[in-house]
Amino acid sequence: MIKIKFKIQCVLLVLLFMVAIPLSAYGIDGQIKIAQPTSFPIVIDQPGSYVLTSNITVSTSNVNGIEIKTYDVTLDLNGFALIGPGKESGTSGNGVHAKNKINIAVTNGVVRDFAGDGVYLSGSNMEVKDIRTYNNGSRGIYALNSIITNCTAKYNDDYGIHANYSTIINCNANDNSNGIIASVSTITNCTIYHNSDTGINASSSTVTNCTSNNNGGNGIKASYRNRIEGNNMRNNGGYGLFLEDSHNYAVKNTASDNGSSSADNFVDNGLNNYMPISGDNANYGW
């Protein structure tokens, strides 16, 4: 009888040990831990909550750092950095890549030094929050059907932030080739400065309470069916506010010292609902 009990105890211990092995990859809150791997990309192919436990350095060119191939994923960088091999190391490779997926969130960390985009998300119900992305060979953040909040994009070779059908809130886009480009989106409370070309390039979007200063091109360029309200545009090399196409509404904006004269602060082709200018650098609102 004693021998039987002993055998049962041994079997139970073995089973407990086997169960404990995969759980060692999980945090106490159920997050799946990601540490420095030996090869790339890191592939996420199961729904869940993932968290970095250290900086991740990608040494391989032309690959994605983290590839998300499933739905319903939260990726928490946990304050760490996902570091690429250098923006001049190849011709492709994004830091975080999720194409045509649903319910993906990328939060809280740094993504830098990739030849492609820092963060690339397409699909629906996406979120990018508290991400700093810089020194990438293409865009800092590309997002489709996303909410982008409290992010910073700097020193990227294309747009700092490129978004379609999205909401961009409290973000900074500085020292990129271009600041923010958005279509059918809302951009609010953002700061854009010292980009080589355009600060904000908007199409069928709403741009409110943003500051776009000291860019090489236009402060804000609005192509078609935009509402541009309550923004500040100063010291840009091109126009302050450029209403390029038609059906744009521009109200309560201020602009000064853009281009070469006060005439460069607000430029309209006559096909827009554009409130008159007061004192050369502010337009009325309603």
What would the pLDDT profile of 221-262 be if each residue is shown by its tens digit? Answer: 999 999 999 999 999 999 999 999 888 999 889 999 999 887
Query: Is the pLDDT assigned to residue 151 strictly greater than 90?
Result: yes
Q: Which of 90, 97, 82 is nearest to 37 (CA)?
A: 82
Q: Which of 245, 240, 238 is nearest to 269 (CA)?
A: 245
Query: Is the pLDDT assigned to residue 147 strictly greater than 50?
Result: yes
The mean per-residue pLDDT over the stretch 75-84 comes to: 98
Three-state secondary structure call for residue 13: helix
The mean per-residue pLDDT over the stretch 2-12 comes to: 43
Cβ atoms of residues 169 and 161 within 8 Å: no
Residues 174, 175, 177, 182: what is their CA dihedral angle, to the nearest 10 degrees? 0
Q: Which residues pair with 178 in a beta bridge?
A: 159
CA distances from 17 to 5, 10, 30, 32, 47 (A): 18, 11, 19, 19, 25
- 278 pLDDT band, cuts 50/70/90, is low
- The pLDDT value recorded for residue 261 is 83
d(CA 18, CA 161): 46
Query: Is the pLDDT assigned to residue 189 strictly greater than 70?
Result: yes
CA distances from 145 to 30, 209, 264 (A): 27, 22, 34
User: Which has more confidence, 17 or 218?
Assistant: 218
Say what the pTM is: 0.88
Residue labelled with tokens 């070309």: 197
Residue labelled with tokens 């629906």: 124
To the nearest whole number, what is the mean pLDDT of the chain?
Answer: 89
Q: Among 44-58, 79-93, 166-180, 246-260, where is mean pLDDT lowest? A: 246-260
Cβ atoms of residues 212 and 231 within 8 Å: yes
Label the pairing between strands 211-213 and 282-283. unpaired
